[in-house]
Amino acid sequence: MAEELPGAQRISLARALVCARGMTAKFSSWRLELTSARGAAAVVLVEPPGGGTFYRGEGACLGWAQGDLEQLYRSLLPDAPSEQEPLQLG
C-alpha cells in the first residue's frame, strides 16, 4: 500500500505521548508527519512499555497494514549522519 501514496514527503519527526486502552499511563512514541498527493498523513511508531513495537496510521495512512506502515516510516526517516562527518555543535 505504501506505493499508493505518491509524492510522500516528511514534514516532521517528533516524540509524542500516546495512551492505549487498558493502560492508565501515557508513553512515548515517534510521530512522522507527511504530505502526499493524497493529502496529509502521519505514521506513529509506538513502543509500549511491555516491549515490542507497532505502527499506527493517521489521515491518508489510516487502515494500512503494519508492514506497509513500517515500510513508509523507514523510507521517510532522515539519513543518519555519516561517521566521517563531524557533528556541528553550537
The secondary structure of 7-21 as a DSSP string is: T-EEEEEEEEEE--T
As given in the structure block, the three cell numbers for residue 1 are 500500500
What does the pLDDT profile of the chain (90 residues) look like in tens digits?
A: 556 788 899 999 999 988 777 777 788 899 999 999 999 999 999 988 778 899 999 999 999 999 999 999 999 998 865 555 565 665
As given in the structure block, the three cell numbers for residue 28 are 512515548
Q: Residue 16's closest CA among 26, 2, 30, 6? A: 30
Helix (H) or strand (E) holding 70: helix 66-75
Residue 30 CB burial class (10 angstroms; 0-12, 13-18, ≥19): middle
Domain parsing of the chain, residue ranges:
2-75
